Amino acid sequence: MSEEPTAPAYDIRKVLKALPHRYPMLLVDKVKSIDLGERIHAVKAVSFNEEFFQGHFPGAPIMPGVMQVEAMAQAAAILGIETLELAGTGKLVYFMGIENAKFRAPVTPGCLLDMEVEFVQKRSRVYKFKGRASVEGKTTCEVDFTAMIADPPSD
C-alpha cells in the first residue's frame, strides 16, 4: 500500500465530519493519506484511557483484536464515504462480513496504530476491503471484510 499522500491529511475535525462514530467508539484519530477510490492510511492513537483497557486486561492492557478490526472498518468507511461523496448525507457503512482475520502482535497503550485499508471489490452498495494494522512497521492485524452503504434504520 502506498505511503505517498494523494490528498490532504484529515485531522480529527474532518474525521468527525466523515464518520458518525463518537466516543467511546470513534477509533480513527487522523487520516495520513487517502487515494479516493483506492486506499486510505489512517491512525489511531491508543491511550490507556480507552474504556476496553479496564477489563482487557487489568494489569496487562492489550487492545482487543476486534477493536483493531473495527478501527480499520472505520477507516474504510471514511474511504467509501469520501470516494462516493456521501459525507453529510446520513448514509452509514455497515459490516457484512469479516474473513481471514489474523492477529499477529499485541497493541498496548501508548502505541500509534497505523491502519492501511484498500478497496478489493466495488459493487453498487457492497464493497470488499483488505486491511492491515501495524505499530512501528510490525503487523498487528490483517483482515478482509465486506461492508455496505445504506440509510440508517428508521425510527
Q: What residues are annotated to the active site? A: 56
Number of helices and strands (H, E) in the chain? 2, 6
Residue with cell 496504530: 113
Picking from 101, 106, 49, the residue whose alpha carbon sits closest to that of residue 72 is 101
Q: What is each CA distance from 11 to 5, 31, 72, 87, in whole angstroms? A: 14, 7, 17, 15
Picking from 129, 103, 99, 135, the residue whose alpha carbon sits closest to that of residue 117 is 129
